[in-house]
Amino acid sequence: MIVDTLIHARWIIPVEPESVTCEYHSLVIDSGKIIDLLPTVQAKQKYQGTSTENLENHALLPGLINCHTHAAMTLMRGIADDLQLMDWLQNHIWPLEQKWMSETFVKDGTDLAIAEMILGGTTCFNDMYYFPGITAGQVMHHGIRAKVGLIVIDFPTVWAQNSDEYIEKGLALHEQLRLSDLCSTAFAPHAPYTVSDEPLQKIRTLADELELPVHIHVHETLHEVEQAQAQTGQRPLQRLQELGLVNPSLAAVHMTQLTDKEISLFAESGAHIVHCPESNLKLASGFCPVARCLEAGINVALGTDGAASNNDLDMLGEMRTAALLGKAVAKDASAIPAMTALRMATINGAKALGLDSCCGSLSLGKAADVIAIDLSNLETQPLYCPVSQIVYAASRQQVTDVWVAGKRLLNQRQLTTFNTDDLKAKIARWRQRLSA
């Protein structure tokens, strides 16, 4: 049988079923889908690939899913480091955005983010930023997968003047992307402290009607929670609960300030947590109690946050940090084992975005969102367990090849949809503007 792509690999880690590693197996891709996963000896007898790859030192696994980004903010990487969150936002980031935000800013910043993510094995990202239509255009141009956030905030920006206009523009973009296979939408109210009750209620109603996820920063810092209690007498999560937003469509980002009662109620709701350990560490925001949340049955996914507060979009690094930090916070070396961290970066992310029928594991019938990691480097030798080596020792530079829906976006470390010299020149011009 002739198929589009046949990949023979040393290891295949499908993620589902959990804790399975297939040695000397092959992945069969046709029409953008995974149609078989079988021993290489059998695959060579049964299939002939229009394109055939022999990856003798590699592990194949599902593309990584970055569940929280502000892609265009990659242009502000390193511009205001080592500051507290509100100082960083109010005195540095927001003024720069007010001065420089434009369609071109978002286009170039998103291109840089997409290039970085592909190079690091990320095949899907969940974004929250202005001009989401520009982001969507770059997603489809480069062939990566994304949930583009329909951002809502109370105050005016260059993108919209008030919450009604944000929602109206978001709905128009949702309609434009309704038939896209790669780029879909989620409501993205920025945070409880920047979005008032009326637009949040409207978002809840529309999210229910359109069956869209809601992606929002929640309980990011102790200051946020204390300020909300002082102003309203409620913790932000309680307010969202009363507004009907804490339900299976919610992806709550950060969640560093959680009581036992909140964890229990959140677990009962079926909502999801997006954990951003490196950004939380860099901004000293606090620690999400990941082990307790997982034990309660909450689906916990991973995100990098924006490169302005991380300062990279490296999901391999994020997995390692999540595993190590989770152990320290839980005071338990067995908390967040390597496979759990890998699931947080793949299938858990797909579930949080409502994409688990499409991606997140190398399951038959799913889109062929696949990455290959070369484990032959000295830095990943000797090798006893591929999953542990990927989580605890491998670097993103070991990602050699990336496919999204069967289309090759990275070929032996070469980006297939970018002119990297042109991109570097654009970014250099932005550096001059932003640092002036």
- Buried-exposed string 366-400: b where 16+ CB fall within 10 A, e elsewhere: bbbbbbbbbbeeeebeeeeebbbbbbebbebebbb
The two beta strands, 122-127 and 64-69, are parallel
Which of the following CATH numbers is that of domain 64-352: 1.10.3720.10, 3.40.50.300, 3.20.20.140, 3.40.190.10? Answer: 3.20.20.140
**What is the C-alpha to C-alpha distance for residues 307 and 299, in angstroms, rounded to an integer?**
24
CA Rg value for the chain: 21
- Decide: residue 100, CB within 10 A, 0-12 exposed, 13-18 middle, 19+ buried: middle
What single DSSP character describes residue 409? E
pLDDT category, 342, cuts 50, 70, 90?
very high
Closest CA to 132 of 146, 115, 113, 117: 146
Closest CA to 279 of 249, 247, 254: 254
Give me the percent of the chain exceeding a pLDDT of 70. Answer: 100
pLDDT at 119: 98
| Domain ranges, ordered by start, for the chain | 2-62+368-405, 64-352
pLDDT at 51: 97
Distances (CA, A) of 352 to 68, 120, 253, 338, 356: 11, 21, 11, 20, 8
8-22, 91-105, 119-133: the lowest-pLDDT one: 91-105
Q: Is the pLDDT of residue 435 over 90?
A: no
pLDDT category, 94, cuts 50, 70, 90?
confident
Residue of higher predicted confidence among 83 and 267: 267
Q: Where are the alpha helices (DSSP H) in 128-235?
A: 132-142, 163-176, 197-210, 222-232
User: Which CATH architecture group holds 2-62+368-405?
Assistant: Roll (2.30)
Q: Is the pLDDT of residue 86 over 90?
A: no
Q: How many residues does the chain have?
A: 436
All residues at 6 or more sequence positions from 280 whose CB lies less than 8 Å from its CB, including other chains = 220, 254, 256, 286, 287, 288
pLDDT at 358: 97
**What is the C-alpha to C-alpha distance for residues 238 and 420, in angstroms, rounded to an integer?**
47
pLDDT category, 85, cuts 50, 70, 90?
confident
All residues at 6 or more sequence positions from 320 whose CB lies less than 8 Å from its CB, including other chains = 341, 391, 392
pLDDT at 88: 86
Give the relative orientation of helices 103-119 and 132-142 as an angle to the nearest 10 degrees. 40
Q: Is the pLDDT of residue 436 over 80?
A: no
- Mind listing the pLDDT tens digit for each residue in 399-419? 999 999 999 999 999 999 999
Section 304-308 average pLDDT: 96
Instruction: Return the percent helix, strand and coil in the chain, to nearest 5.
Output: 40, 25, 35
